[in-house]
Amino acid sequence: MTTTPIDLFASALLFHPDGDVRAAERRMTSSDSGAWQIATFHVETDADVHADHWEMHPEADEAVCCLAGGARIHFRPTGPGEAGEAVQLPAGAAVIVPRGRWHRLELDSPSDLMSITLRHGTRLERRTDTH
Residue 69 belongs to domain spanning: 12-126
Handedness of CA 32, 98, 24, 44 (dihedral sign): positive
Q: Confirm whether 2 is domain-assigned.
A: no
Q: Confirm whether 4 is domain-assigned.
A: no
Q: What CATH number is associated with residue 109?
A: 2.60.120.10
Q: Distance (Å, rounded) from C-alpha 115 to C-alpha 122?
A: 13
Residue 131 has pLDDT above 60, yes or no: no
pLDDT 10s digits, 15-60: 999 999 999 988 776 677 789 999 999 999 999 998 999 999 999 9
Mean pLDDT computed over every residue of the chain: 91
- Strands (E) located in the chain: 12-15, 21-24, 36-43, 53-56, 62-75, 85-90, 93-97, 103-118, 123-126
Domain count, the chain: 1
pLDDT 10s digits, 57-109: 999 999 999 999 999 999 999 888 888 899 999 999 999 999 999 999 999 99
